[in-house]
Amino acid sequence: MLKRKDLVGLIDLSREEIAELLDVAGEMKRHLVAGEKNLSYLKGKTATILFYENSTRTRTSFELAAKYLGATVINIAAGSSSVAKGETLVDTGKTLDAQLNDFLIMRHPMGGAPYLLARTVKAGVLNAGDGMNEHPTQALLDMLTMKEHFGSLDGLKVAILGDIKHSRVAKSNLFGLQKMGAEVYMYAPETLIPKGIDKLGAKLCSSREEALENADVVMGLRIQLERQQAGNFPSLNEYAEFYGVNGKLLSLAKPNAIIMHPGPVNRGVELTGKVIDHEKSRIEDQVFSGIAVRMAALKLLNDYREYTK
Ligand code: CP
């Protein structure tokens, strides 16, 4: 059993815990495919969604996941809450705790914010992305998508190309995939590679060709225009030409390779439109896997809350 109050980062999870999350996510997916969207694992529980940054996929899939499990769901947009009046994160957490919330699902621009919240509230905290740090449920849904295609993650070559420096998805995938036996190769302009990521196990490549050669998974990452400082690369057109993935480069990957992207995509920048819409693309499967993974995370955290009552 996942013995945790919170799910904050894959850096904290063991291989066994990740395997359990993926197994339960597989079960949840079977429920969804069978049209079973009124489960009762979280009946009588409340989940509050607290997003300090924009989102389409993560926010909606957490909401659907909690509702499909039978929870009551509250949505708080930071701009319309007392945060806008200067309330601190810890005080917001205490307020939500006093209302007997069972789960707080938070996205925040500051890395580490969910750790602070988790330490100060009784509710279970789920990190829906914290700054440039981690996005654990995104990496779990990415791993579920890979596992469904390949059967296992052991020995896979996963090539990640794009804005790695600003990417919480890259870090969570690096932590999770290595624990599950995959190898993570990375390629980006030097200015978009975080210092020391090779010390965490990433295999840094000196060309797109080296990254893509015999890859099982080709994962593009969004160029995060909102987090760029001037000068990381000359222009989006030049990024696309010299660092993006096109159909010709894709042919270097294994015949059974798949294309992934966490979204939102800058179409024609990190991946060409043809690559995004390619028959090997699993981008829409990733979105569907997202609901199942978030159902699994909520169910397992709830099981532990019940067990420790
Ligand atoms: N992948 C991802 O986190 O997408 P959103 O920003 O739309 O949630």
pLDDT score for 226:
72
Ligand 1 atom with the shortest distance to the CA of 59 = 8
**DSSP summary character for residue 8:** -
Contacts of 158 (CB under 8 A, 6+ apart): 146, 173, 177, 182, 183, 184, 185, 215, 216, 217, 219
Element housing 63 (H / E): helix 57-68
Tokens representing 160? 């990640």
pLDDT score for 258:
98
Q: Is 152 helix (H, G, I), strand (E, B) or coil?
A: coil
- Annotated catalytic residue: which of 46, 48, 58, 145? 58
Contacts of 99 (CB under 8 A, 6+ apart): 46
Tokens representing 143? 């791993």
Q: 55 CB under 6 A from ligand 1?
A: yes
pLDDT score for 228:
66
Rounded to the nearest whole angstrom, what is the distance from the C-alpha of residue 231 to the centroid of ligand 1? Answer: 25
203 given a catalytic annotation: no
pLDDT score for 230:
62
pLDDT score for 196:
96
Instruction: Convert the pLDDT of each residue in 106-164 to its tens digit.
Output: 999 999 999 999 999 999 999 999 999 999 999 999 999 999 999 999 999 999 999 99
Q: Low-confidence residues of the chain, pLDDT below 70? A: 227-230
pLDDT score for 225:
75
pLDDT score for 83:
79
pLDDT score for 81:
78
- Annotated catalytic residue: which of 135, 168, 208, 261? 135
